[in-house]
Amino acid sequence: MRSLNLPKIYIRAAIMCSVAALLGGCSVFQPVKSESITTYSLEVQFDSLTKGTGDKTLLVTPLTAQPGFDSTRMIYIKKLHEIDYFAQNKWVDTPSRMLTPLLVQALESSAKYRAVVNSRSSVSADLRLDTEIIRLQQEFLTRPSQIRLTMRAQLIDIQGRRVLATREFDLTEVAASDDPYGGVVSANRAIKTMLLQIAEFCTQELKPDTKGNTQVE
């Protein structure tokens, strides 16, 4: 059998390729795997919309959020005052953007207004509701973990140019499981409860006059 007399440069190149293949393993010939990101949304259902019975139009401005809570990153804490973020899990949009239409639905379901409109509407409004997310986080300070949601609401009389009432709402909901998905499930429960509380807060500021209509005092 005739031996092959290959130049040394080819031999060295072959050795280098073999070493590279051994170091890289089988993945040398496979696509690089990237870590997948799981996204979640905030979704709640309210009672079917009914025709409003009030005589006031309420404007709901877009929700705002405290620094750190105004992104799609999902927050959790293991120590007080120390914020961490889930690496492979995030919101599909910022919580404030997702909550704004849900708040409108919660207020509409109360049927206490002639109409509930958002900032894109050209309808003239009598009242304005400003809301802010102070915190929305999964807390692993206890077991099971829990979701903590804190929001601030301010109801304003547009015509009278005055603040009618301001209130901070805070509640916790035990997480369905000690992982991001369990936190999301519980966050949706907490959000529904809180938005209904805010709707009730606004209703309490509307008092009937002697003719049975609603007016702001």
Q: Is residue 98 part of a domain?
A: yes
Query: What pLDDT shows up at residue 212?
Result: 42
Q: Quick check: is 39 in a domain?
A: no
Residue 131 falls within a domain, yes or no?
A: yes
Any domain includes 41: no
Q: Which residues contact 196 (CB under 8 A, 6 or more apart)?
A: 46, 106
pLDDT value, residue 119: 83
pLDDT tens for the chain, residues 1 to 217: 454 454 555 545 455 545 444 444 444 444 444 579 999 999 999 987 666 678 899 999 999 999 999 999 999 999 998 999 999 999 999 999 999 999 999 999 988 899 999 888 778 899 999 999 999 999 999 999 999 999 999 999 998 899 999 999 999 999 999 999 999 999 999 999 999 999 999 998 776 543 344 444 4
pTM summary value: 0.78
Tell me, what's the pLDDT at 15? 54
38 inside domain: no
Domain that holds residue 198: 65-206
- Within a domain: residue 171? yes
CATH of the domain at 97: 3.40.50.10610
The pLDDT of residue 16 is 56
Structural domains in the chain (count) = 1
CB neighbours of 142 closer than 8 A, spacing ≥ 6? Answer: none
pLDDT value for 50: 64
Q: What is the pLDDT of residue 72?
A: 97
Is 34 among the domain residues? no
- Output the CA–CA distances (angstroms, integers) from residue 144 to 73, 77, 140, 203, in the order listed: 22, 13, 7, 35
Residue 118 lies in a domain: yes
